[in-house]
Amino acid sequence: MTIAVAVRKGGEIVIAADTQNNFGHNRAPIANHRTQKILTVGGNHLATSGWGLYANILDDFLARKRAPKLDTERDVFRFFQTFWKVLHEHYSLVNDQCQHEEERSPFGDLDASFLLVNGGGIFFVSSDTSVTEFQQYYAVGSGAEFALGALHALYDSDLDAETLARRACAAAMAFNVYCGGDIDVCRITDTAAAARVP
């Protein structure tokens, strides 16, 4: 499980994530095992939430190709559509997830979600690969509701993007047993905001 948070404020976009890895109901002490949940993809940072195997698959998949263009919702959607196809064609361990009768959907289910940031913004990729851009902040993972509550309460304060992201992660880590360890942070200049300034 994971907490990953992205915050856009003051000309900067920050993504932060915890480093705890869970093995069912067990976890390893941070001194013994530390998980890097933020992948660098060209000029982008991508946090994975859900099955830990996705980090391995994405790392393998991205090593086989040039860094993709991920500047817009459409770019991100097309990337994940390609990723979905490759998952089923080249990774035989991947299943389509079973759906509960009350949650039936005509769409596939990655059973994971992703948070991507770059100079253009914050993009959330849900388990059905739909892509949503957020202007201020978003969070994914098992502790997301705590992180989003912290961000809602603190965003309009004088705190900068990194401090907000760290505090949101800390809130999730304080209240959700599946979040923990250290907090990794990556920062990017908000080039889209800079382009809008006359």
Residue 63, token pair as written in the block:
């090593």
Give the pLDDT of residue 33.
85
Cβ atoms of 137 and 12 closer than 8 Å: no
**pTM of the predicted model, to two decimals?**
0.86
Give dist(CA 92, CA 94) in Å, integer.
5
How many Å apart are CA 145 and CA 149, to the nearest integer? 6
Domain ranges of the chain: 3-95+106-196
Q: How many Cβ atoms are within 10 Å of 172's Cβ, its own excluded?
A: 30
- Looking at the predicted structure, is the pLDDT value of residue 3 above 60? yes
Assigned CATH for 3-95+106-196: 3.60.20.10
Considering 17-21, 33-37, 136-140, the range whose residues carry the highest mean pLDDT is 136-140
Burial (0-12, 13-18, 19+ Cβ within 10 Å), 80 = buried
The chain-wide mean pLDDT, for the chain, equals: 86
Cβ atoms of residues 3 and 17 within 8 Å: yes
Is the pLDDT confidence value at 107 over 70? Answer: no
pLDDT in tens, 54-104: 778 888 888 887 888 898 999 999 998 888 888 878 776 555 555 555 555
Q: Is the pLDDT of residue 198 over 70?
A: no
